[in-house]
Amino acid sequence: MSVRIGVNPIAWSNDDMQELGRETPLETCLSEGRQIGFAGFELGHKFPRKSAELGPILSRHGLALVSGWYSSGLLERSVEEEIAAAQDHLALLKELGATVMIVAETTGAVHGNRAAPLSTRPVIKAGDWAAFGQRMTAFGAYLKDQGLPIAYHHHMGTVVETPAEIDRFMDVTGPEVGLLLDTGHMTFAGGNPVAMVQRWGHRINHVHCKDVRPALLAEARKTDSSFLDAVVNGVFTVPGDGGIDYRTVLGALKAAGYRGDWLVIEAEQDPAKANPFTYLTKGYQHLQGLVSELGL
């Protein structure tokens, strides 16, 4: 396999709702992840943020650093201000060998607010898209020069959520900005991951693999749930445990010539209800089997 399978620690310890998995130490997360078979981890809030400290911890477990989320604020600040704000995060990723930087615009975002229905999320005014795209492209050009191209994360509760908004975002940004395909967020937002690969596969440089439970998704939409309530209720699960056809998704990625280094399982659930080791083992085995079958 040329693509490696990584994991985000969010199944063990949630970043947006830190009481989920608060009691789980980082050591448990890393040791279980390696035992399951994952080759690397994305960052979580329990990870040290200095390479001199984190590097030896990952090495002890035989794990690579995949990447880590960065919250941008380019709707409100300049490219120069964004570059300055990103330096510590950028240094950590570079020093530990990551190959993309996950970026999401979080100005006004509601995904971390359990009291905020998803309908209250911010939207970009029609006249503001061009300037936003120019800033993100300039930021992307800087990061590309640093060896860490942007993998832009569309996300529920943010300004780039729906398929139409992703299309608009990709239209107003240049090739310096890559796209992170998140299968779960795409499905939650009413889109089709396969269609998104077919449309933007040439710019997809990172993939988050989560599955969706259709009945719980329908309930979240009907009740205008907050993002975190939907998570706690179990809207997301691991690949192979929900309604997404991963054989077709991965087949589309292969057909599109996916050139990313990783497929990352990022399936946030309440660990008290969904044992992380049990579920992530199931997700890894499902994904690994398809990657081997398809030769991705």
Query: Span 36-51, mean pLDDT?
Result: 98
Q: What's the pLDDT at 183?
A: 98
Query: Span 175-186, mean pLDDT?
Result: 98
Residue 55 Cα to chain centre, angstroms: 22
> 118 to each of 38, 80, 115, 197, how far by Cα in Å?
32, 31, 10, 25
* Four-residue CA torsion sign, 59, 40, 34, 257: negative
Residue-averaged pLDDT of the chain: 97
CB atoms within 10 A of CB 76: 11
In this model, does residue 1 exceed pLDDT 80? no
Q: What's the pLDDT at 137?
A: 98
Tokens at 82, concatenated? 């964004």
The burial of 10, by beta-carbon neighbours within 10 Å (0-12 exposed, 13-18 middle, 19 or more buried), is given as buried
Using the structure block, give the residue that is written with the tokens 């077709």.
248
In this model, does residue 7 exceed pLDDT 60? yes
CB atoms within 10 A of CB 124: 20
Give 262-288 pLDDT, tens digit per residue. Answer: 999 999 999 999 999 999 999 999 999
Q: Is 24 helix (H, G, I), strand (E, B) or coil?
A: coil
Q: What's the pLDDT at 53?
A: 98
Domain with 244 in it: what CATH number? 3.20.20.150
Q: What's the pLDDT at 138?
A: 98
Number of structural domains (the chain) is: 1
Query: Measured between alpha carbons, how far is 289 from 168 in angstroms, rounded to an integer?
Result: 35
pLDDT band (50, 70, 90) for residue 2: confident
Query: Measured between alpha carbons, how far is 35 from 94 in angstroms, rounded to an integer?
Result: 26
Give me the amino acid identity at 84. Answer: A
Give 109-165 pLDDT, tens digit per residue. Answer: 999 999 999 999 999 999 999 999 999 999 999 999 999 999 999 999 999 999 999
Give 23-40 pLDDT, tens digit per residue. Answer: 999 999 999 999 999 999
Half-sphere exposure of 137 (CA within 13 A, CB side): 13
Using the structure block, give the residue that is written with the tokens 């395909």.
181
Give 186-235 pLDDT, tens digit per residue. Answer: 999 999 999 999 999 999 999 999 999 999 999 999 999 999 999 999 99
Buried b / exposed e over 78-88, threshold 16 CB at 10 Å, is: ebeebeeebee
Domain range enclosing 69: 4-294
pTM over 0.85: yes
